Amino acid sequence: MRRWLAAVQIVLAGGAPAVPAGMADCGPRSAIAPAPPAALAESAPLTWERQYDNQGNADFAWDIAETPQGDFVVVGATGPTPCVLGCNHDGWVVKIDARGNVLWTRQLGGNGADLLASVIVKDGNYLIAGSKYVFPYARQAWLVEMTPDGNVAWQKTLGGSQNDSAGEIVPSSDGNFFVIGETASYGAQDGKSDVWLIKMAPNGDILWNKTYDLGAADGGASIVPFQGDKLLVAAYTCTADCNGFFRQGFATYLVLDSAGNLLKSRSFTDGPKNVLQKVRPTADGGAILVGATSVAEQFPSEDTWVVKLDANADVSWTRVMRSRGRYDGGFDVVQMPDGGYVVSAYSQAYQTPEMDFDNFTMLRLGSDGYPLWTWMWGGPDNDDAHAVIRAADGGIVLAGFRDAVSWPLTEVPGPSDFYVVRTTADRVRVFLPSVFKGAQ
């Protein structure tokens, strides 16, 4: 499935438009009802789970945020299926209540591959970041502010004549916000991309922006405030087969001051492939990062990878959840009150004939990073848990997608749906202990 997902990400990130057009948006569209719930493994103590389908399209959820009222906003992309390259994807926003019922949906975008990748709630509104194809240039960073009733307060694109994108948006301590992403238009003019950091005012005006060149095709995946006046960035670098199925590269984290100046960095270059997907602050003043690594695998297979940093941004420990010969990895992480963690992940652990390709996966780790238990469930196609948050009432909410097709290529990506699960993390039990054959 990793090879299939790489192709989908290329499409959503920078595929050419199906029909050249201007920048006009399609505008808001009417809400739809969720599809019937899919079957889940009996071992998972779910409060509820829902699938959300946009008229049979391929729908991929990338992020979720909770509102002050206890509702949830889910963002991602929606587009035609089958489609391998060059199709018209739009950003899709679904607002649901605390029970998973649809309140409204909105489809935003133009001709080309558009994606909404990150959402936060700020002053009651929803700030969303992603990428949008802007004719006649290329992909640009895309910022949207929406009101609680689903109206667009403002939106804008940022970038140049090459491919640029926004990966994550976070609030800053002074009332503004930071956006981390990737740019090929600015920075080192070597024909490759750089990590791109933008500081923006609440109305979307750029206050300043900086780029960071790590030596190859670079981009910023995630960002958090760190130690009050600093920033911590998780970055990726591709060194080979960047537009193919066997992507290689290394991972880096950067420590920046409040003005974006580099204070410290560390790269992980062991093995053919290391990727950091998300960074989150921890209660001890440090941070936790998750992703995937091939350091203990026969490439292109990969394992779930967790890195803990202390308050000085030095590595306290790393854990590799070894599972030789298949694709596994972490997408997001949240710390629990006991100091442990919940990781949203993917795993190709084959359990039954009905569970093939990626499975929706939730890992519960202790404060030392060692696994306490894991739950995996899904169907015969790809089911990926892209985001996890801890709700205000202490519950765990995961968002991603279900039923994305990997094979045959003529059916990719299939009629996948947004998928949201509301569950708990208070049952300590081991599910499929053979999944974890060791950690380091």
pLDDT tens-place string over residues 336-390: 999 999 999 999 876 666 666 888 999 999 999 999 988 888 888 899 999 999 9
Q: Is 159 left (phi over 0), alpha (psi -120 to 50) or beta?
A: left
Of 202 and 21, which is predicted with more confidence? 202
Q: What pairs with residue 364 in β-bridges?
A: 342, 373
pLDDT number for residue 262: 98
Q: d(Cα 429, Cα 433) in Å, to the nearest integer?
A: 10
Rounded mean pLDDT of the chain?
A: 86
Q: d(Cα 422, Cα 47) in Å, to the nearest integer?
A: 5
| Cα of 197 vs its chain's centroid, Å | 17
Q: What is the mean pLDDT of residues 232-245?
A: 93
pLDDT tens-place string over residues 108-133: 999 999 999 999 999 999 999 999 99
Token pair in block for residue 149: 């009733």
Residue 134 has pLDDT above 80, yes or no: yes
pLDDT number for residue 324: 66
Of 373 and 28, which is predicted with more confidence? 373
Residue 9 phi, psi (nearest 5): -65, -35
Q: What is the mean pLDDT of residues 237-242?
A: 95
Q: d(Cα 238, Cα 234) in Å, to the nearest integer?
A: 14
Q: Is 86 left (phi over 0), alpha (psi -120 to 50) or beta?
A: left
pLDDT number for residue 355: 64
pLDDT number for residue 161: 92
pLDDT number for residue 422: 95
The model's pTM is: 0.88
For 2-33+48-435, CATH number? 2.130.10.10
Query: Using an 8 Å Cβ cutoff, are 94 and 68 in contact?
Result: no
Q: Give 268's contacts (C-beta < 8 A, 6+ positions apart).
A: 250, 251, 252, 274, 276, 293, 307
Exposure b/e, 40-66, CB count within 10 A at least 16 = b? bbeebeeeebbbbbbeebbbbbbbbbb
Q: d(Cα 402, Cα 46) in Å, to the nearest integer?
A: 16
Task: Kindly tell me the burial class for residue 395, based on how many C-beta atoms sit within 10 Å of its own C-beta (0-12, 13-18, 19 or more).
Answer: middle
pLDDT number for residue 404: 92
Query: Using an 8 Å Cβ cutoff, are 378 and 360 in contact?
Result: yes
Residue 155 has pLDDT above 90, yes or no: yes
Q: d(Cα 119, Cα 274) in Å, to the nearest integer?
A: 25
User: Picking from 25-34, 221-230, 302-311, 404-413, which range would have the lowest pLDDT averaged per residue?
Assistant: 25-34
Q: What is the mean pLDDT of residues 42-64?
A: 86
Residue 15 has pLDDT above 80, yes or no: no
Q: What is the mean pLDDT of residues 148-162?
A: 96
Residue 11 has pLDDT above 90, yes or no: no
DSSP annotation of 366? -
Among 266, 329, 265, 252, smallest CA distance to 293 is for 329
Q: What is the mean pLDDT of residues 383-399?
A: 96
Q: Give 93's contacts (C-beta < 8 A, 6+ positions apart).
A: 73, 74, 75, 105, 106, 107, 108, 116, 119, 126, 128, 146, 150
Q: d(Cα 412, Cα 245) in Å, to the nearest integer?
A: 14
Report CA torsion sign: 60, 291, 229, 255: negative
Place of tokens 């959840």: 321
Q: What is the mean pLDDT of residues 401-415?
A: 89
Q: What is the mean pLDDT of residues 234-240?
A: 97
